[in-house]
Structure formats: C-alpha cells, structure tokens
Amino acid sequence: MKLKLAILGSGSGSNMQSIVDAIEAHTLDAEIVCVLTDVPDAKILERAARHHLPGRYVSCAPFRTKLDGAAQEETIRLMREAGADTVVLAGFMRIVKPALLAAFPNRVLNIHPALLPAFPGLCSWKQALDYGCRVAGCTVHFVDAGTDSGPIIVQKAVPIEPNDTPETLHARIQVQEHIAYPEALRLLSEGRLHIQGRRVIIR
Ligand code: GAR
C-alpha cells in the first residue's frame, strides 16, 4: 500500500532525504504529504522546499522537550488535512504525547541513534562511546507512550573504532540510519510488519 507520510524533524533532515531518495528511486512506495518542524530555521525545511514538499513550522511553545497541548493538536490537524496515514519522526527532538499516538495508532515511527534499549535519550552515540561500547548503531521502532521504548522494527550495528570521536561515530551511524529508515518503511508499505506485544514479526 502506498504510504502517505508526514515527516516531523528538528534538524538537518538527512533521514528525510534518504526517504525522498528511496521514493524517487522507486524502491519505496510512499509519498511525503507534509513536513513539519518545531525549529523555524531547520534545514529540513530547505530540503523539503528543494523537493517541492509542503513544509511548515509549528511553534511548540511553551514546552521545550515535548509536543503537547495546542501545538500537538495543530500538528495532528495539519497531518490529517494533508492526508497522512503514517507519522515519521526523523530527528524530531520532542516527546510526542498520547493524543498523537491515538490519532495514528501503530503508525508512528522513530529513528534513534543507538541499539535500543541501550542509550535512550539525547546524544546516544556519545553515551555509547563514553560507556566504552565496542558496537553502537541505530534503531527504527514504533513509538509508544515511553521514551525510545516502542517495538523494534530494524536495527543496524556500527563497530566503534579506537580513534572514534562523537562526530566520526555519529557520521557512521547516520550512514546506517539512511539505509534503516527506508527499509523499515518498505516493510510497512508491504504490509509485512505485525506487532505482537513487544515484538514486531516480519512476514
Ligand atoms: C539522527 O541521528 C537521529 O537518529 C537523531 O537525530 C539525528 C537527526 O538527523 N534522533 C534522535 O536523537 C531522536 N532521539 P537528521 O535531521 O539529519 O535526520
């Protein structure tokens, strides 16, 4: 089924770019129907404009770390109006609340720069490096009411090299993110993802 994606991002939008590239290469059956950001000058809006995708800033004040209240209602309204059936959190640095999850049940996905459940939260690649891990990575998962805690769809491992800095490690994790997100969305579009409790069964 052709997915109608609403993308929510706060930053550069490289994950959105990987999804745009997969759609344009006809390896993902999807359409991006809106791009929303909580950061007025986020680069993701420039990328959206470059690909003629409708992009928009939604002020999330007074909240700093969550999408709640009127801003969440407005976000839901804009996504519905655009005809979205799937919400893609692509570097969206806010916690979404139950109203949004209820509006798109089992259709909100997130990408996180760690092998969950290790290192939820911020700057996870740095957390993995500081911890002394040998392997880091990324996770695409369904979003639930917790923080970075929903059922896991795809994970990619990235070995940590002796000379890695947070920047070099994050750059290599991002290379894998750009493979993982289109892969997870492809599985969703093919109707192959089945949530059973905590587990996602791929058929
Ligand atoms: C990505 O590394 C993504 O995993 C991370 O933000 C970056 C966004 O990059 N997300 C989180 O940390 C969410 N907790 P992008 O704007 O270039 O896609």
Which one of 52, 112, 170, 178 is the catalytic residue?
112
Contact assessment for residue 128 and residue 118, using Cβ atoms and an 8 Å cutoff = yes
**Smallest Cα–Cα separation from 110: which of 154, 74, 45, 68?**
154
pTM to 2 decimal places: 0.98
Q: Is 14 in the pocket of ligand 1 (CB under 6 A)?
A: yes
Pocket test for ligand 1, best of 8, 16, 111 (most atoms within 8 A of CB): 111
What pLDDT, in 10s, does the model give residues 138-148? 999 999 999 99
Closest ligand 1 atom to residue 90 Cα is 18
Question: How far is Cα of residue 177 from the mean position of the Cα atoms in its chain?
Answer: 9
- Res 198: pLDDT: 94
What pLDDT, in 10s, does the model give residues 112-169? 999 999 999 999 999 999 999 999 999 999 999 999 999 999 999 999 999 999 999 9
CA 76 to CA 84: how far, in whole Å? 10
Q: Is 13 in the pocket of ligand 1 (CB under 6 A)?
A: yes
CA 19 to CA 179: how far, in whole Å? 9
**Smallest Cα–Cα separation from 184: which of 94, 105, 108?**
108
User: How long a stretch of residues is the chain?
Assistant: 203
Pocket test for ligand 1, best of 36, 177, 178, 181 (most atoms within 8 A of CB): 177
